[in-house]
A and B are shown apart, each in its own frame.
Chain A
Amino acid sequence: MGGLRGVRRIYAAFFLGLFGFLLWAGEFERLKGFEVGLFLQLDPLTALGGFLTSHTLYKGLALALLILIPTLFLGRFFCSWICPLGIVNQVLSHIFHRRRAVESWEENRYRPVYRVKYYLLVVLLVFAGLGSLQTGLLDPIALIYRSFTLSLLPAVDRAGGGGWFALPAVFHGGVLIGGVLLAILLANRLITRFWCRALCPLGALLGWCAQWSLWRIRRDVDRCNQCKQCLRACQGAADPDGALRHTECHLCMNCIEACGTQALHYGLAGSRSSIGRPLDLNRRRVVEVALAAVVAVPMTRSTLSPRSTPTPEVIRPPGSLPEAQFLARCIKCGLCMRVCPTNVLQPALLEAGFEGLWTPLLMNAVGYCEHHCVLCGQVCPTAAIRPLSVAEKVGAPPFTKPVRLGTAFFDRGRCLPWAMDVPCIVCEETCPTSPKAIWYETVAITSRDGRKVTLKRPFVQPELCIGCGICENKCPVTDLAAIRVSSVGESRSGDNRMLLNQQSGWIEGTIDTGLG
């Protein structure tokens, strides 16, 4: 080991280790102010997507410029030096490496299918430009966070008998999320770094930026003896033995180390350096793809979803923006679900419409929103969930009202004191507001067998209910609770309200901040 490849390996090991550490540190008990979303903030695709949907570069997302600007000068270094998914793919490809030269030549040749990533990027950017942030579906950083948090880590915890909740973590449809990652990793068996070469939209964005790079891999045409050892080692399918495709090159530096005649170097062009090849992209195809995306966006909007119609089960985390703005910011990374102490935050499948796939929902059958917990908003890298203070969440001064997630409703046909003459009111006991949103009326009734029974029959006072869901979670009617929270009354929406007196202070398109 030595040279630039050795330097690259040290960087890759460092960043992969950092990624692992931040993933480990994202667990509720270990959160000690670590910037657990650092990689998401470094991600230029998240920054660009968020910029297109909101016309702002939110706080930490400005870190993405640390990647984007050097890429203009140096090329696509992120993919092999920093990106955790890229590094994992690189390691797996190395393990799966073909032994015979003729096979690896064949495998590492550039193929036209590698243009697909640019088309995917165009689709995602058109969606973002029209207000729907879908970059997180395919963004490698969001994808690897989501897969680890919602599928791989819970699986490891379960197998090892541990878990970051008192009970082992469960996630709605987690197996699908993990399955996507496994497919990406196994694809390395067929084609080296297939994901990075063919599908990764972040790679496409960085490749596009690398068009103008000054520093590149250069081949001295006099020294080169056409042995193709460089092509054997190439991770990016960048044709280092011919006219280098610098938009595809990840700067893994393998080719330089593989060359027996020192014909390759990374830097400015010498007097006998080979030419590079421009981005292999047909403008007409790009326009076609963009037009298709332009049509697809209103199609997704024409589907019944919380964007069009309030949906009872779409209960968003505390501090979430109104649904349209939420969907313009959420990158489906799963970080909020990682830090949630009760496991209540779950990735949506189609509950929130096609646009809302893998966005966070509260599922109170699993957990509930802890009254004084504001972690989800603190870690959200894009502020789809605003960072709330505890005072703002619970409505302590200077705030005049709490953040409401929804409202609880009794199902009197299932409630023990209402339907079965059995004492209970666990809901009232656990209600965290003061005064409690659940109250009861004491009634004396005669049961079927003639006994006099005194019962406390509970009610919800909707002005006080914050929709935290602990009543639903702790209800002894375990399968379908006798009190359930639905989204109506949520602070973030001006329309999804039922009470006249909850409308005060609301201005079109803004969030109710509880400041009177």
Chain B
Amino acid sequence: MARRSTTNPVLETEPLLSRRAFLGRAAGLTGVAAGLAVGGYVVYSDQPIRQGAVQVARFKDFRVAPDPLRPVMAVVRGTRVEAMVQESVGKLGGVARFIQRGDRVLLKPNVGWDRQPEQAANTGPELVEAMVRICREAGAASVWVTDVSLNDPRRCFARSGIEAATVAGGGQVRLPGRDDFVATEMGGKVLKVWPVARFFHEVDKVINLPIVKHHSLSGCTLAMKNWYGVIGGQRNRLHQSIHDSIVDLAAAVRPTLTVMDATRVLKRNGPTGGNPADVAREETIIASLDEVALDSFCLSFLDLAPEAVPFLALAEARGLGKVAWRDLNVVRSQVG
């Protein structure tokens, strides 16, 4: 037992330690020391930082089985977009060929810019609303609409009219936030592993809804170029090898269906536009199962030849489709 302390600290002495107390405290200290040693062993590393294995996702193949009796591409001219979309999808075999009851469907329009529909920098909201509605009527469990925009995404979706169109059709907008990207194996020539908006991995069907636009570096923004909006990360580096990047993306994302908006076409100053004088009314909707043929077909709207657009030949060489769309089963019709 320690002696009671005296009132004078100068005269106070250290209490004697009993054998029991000594053993107890020594055991305690030994326990702490052992814990430190074990802990040090556990966290020891010969690397400056510890790296866990990165989970790398892969795209599903969203395509449906080919049907040699059906057309590959349906070109519909008219003025009422919803009827034109119905007609074009109908020519390819009807929506039931592409959407099964209970499918989770993702639509990927081009919503890159804070622009209004009349400026034709984004896919028209009429096409998005029609497609959302068609998918819902075919029994889709959910229809999501997403894009990785270049301007502020909230402004892009609001001012393009696509947010309102999505809601009106019965779908949901999914804006990718900073935690919504997952590393994904692209398996391309220049694109290896890139961050991809996770929504693409959480659905059963993906429908591409691009718009025909001029683009100064690649010549045009069409169906294959629209897959830029799938990835995040430092995407501005893709310009350094833009044709290989486009083909890599098109090879990685194989959509169920592509429906092209060629109602308003941005002829100059793309891909941002801004001046309605650069926009021409072409009043065409094209549904296709071959993105290469579709892009090749759409060159006529921009007065471009296939030779001026290197990514088309590169895509054909990669087996993604045919540049010579006239060799394919293409049907044309007029609605309204």
Contact = CB atoms under 8 A, between A and B. Distances in A.
Interface of A: 28-29, 161, 163, 166-168, 341-342, 370-373, 416, 422-426, 428-436, 440, 456, 470, 474-476, 478
B271 A429 contact: yes
Interface string B142-153: 000000001111
Contacts of A423: 217, 239-242
A219 B140 CA distance: 76
A425 B217 contact: yes
Interface in B235-286: 236-237, 239-242, 269, 271-275, 278
Contacts, number: 81
Contacts of A371: 114, 151, 274
Given A423-B242, A434-B273, A341 B154 contact: yes
Interface in B148-176: 150-155, 159, 176
A440 B216 contact: yes
B179 A161 contact: yes
Interface of B (DSSP majority class): loop
Interface string B170-200: 0000001111000000000000000000000
A167 B178 contact: yes
Interface in B281-314: none
B155 A433 contact: no
Contact of B239 (A28, A425, A470): A425
B215 A372 contact: no
Nearest to A167: B178
Contacts of A424: 239-240
B154 A372 contact: no
B45 interface: no
A475 B236 CA distance: 7
B8 interface: no
B325 to A, nearest CB: 27
B18 interface: no
Nearest to B176: A166
24 contacts: A29-B154, A163-B177, A342-B152, A370-B114, A370-B151, A372-B155, A372-B159, A373-B114, A426-B239, A428-B216, A428-B217, A429-B217, A429-B239, A432-B113, A432-B272, A434-B269, A434-B273, A434-B275, A435-B275, A436-B272, A440-B216, A456-B216, A475-B236, A476-B239
Nearest to B272: A432
A433 B215 CA distance: 15
A426 B154 contact: no
Interface of B: 113-114, 150-155, 159, 176-179, 215-217, 234, 236-237, 239-242, 269, 271-275, 278
Contacts of A161: 179
Contact of A163 (B113, B159, B178, B240): B178
A161 B152 CA distance: 19
A373 B154 contact: no
Nearest to A161: B179
Given A426-B239, A434-B278, A341 B152 contact: yes
B155 A432 contact: no
A146 to B, nearest CB: 23
A478 B114 contact: no
Contacts of B151: 370-371, 470
A168 B29 CA distance: 45
Nearest to A425: B217
Contacts of A434: 269, 272-275, 278
Nearest to A424: B239
A481 to B, nearest CB: 10
Could you say which of A431, A434, A440 has the most chain B C-beta atoms within 10 Å of its C-beta? A434
A323 B114 CA distance: 30
A416 B269 CA distance: 22
Contacts of B152: 166, 341-342, 370, 373
Contacts of B278: 434
Q: Report the 4 A-B pairs with minimum CB-CB distance, sorted nearest first.
A: A434-B274, A434-B275, A426-B236, A476-B236
A268 B221 CA distance: 78
A435 B178 contact: no
B215 A429 contact: yes
A429 B274 CA distance: 12
Nearest to B277: A434
Given A161-B179, A429-B271, A166 B153 contact: yes
Contact of A168 (B153, B178, B269, B272): B178
Contacts of B239: 423-426, 429, 476
Given A370-B155, A371-B114, A429-B272, A456 B236 contact: no
A342 B241 CA distance: 28
B150 A28 contact: no
A435 B269 contact: yes
A423 B217 CA distance: 9
Contacts of A422: 240
Given A163-B177, A370-B152, A428-B216, 15 more contacts: A166-B153, A372-B114, A372-B155, A373-B114, A416-B240, A426-B236, A430-B150, A432-B113, A432-B272, A434-B269, A434-B275, A436-B272, A474-B236, A476-B236, A476-B239
Contacts of A341: 152, 154-155
A169 to B, nearest CB: 11
Nearest to B177: A166
Contact of A430 (B155, B176, B240, B272): B272
A292 B241 CA distance: 63
A431 B159 CA distance: 18
B172 to A, nearest CB: 16
B42 to A, nearest CB: 28
A436 B269 contact: yes
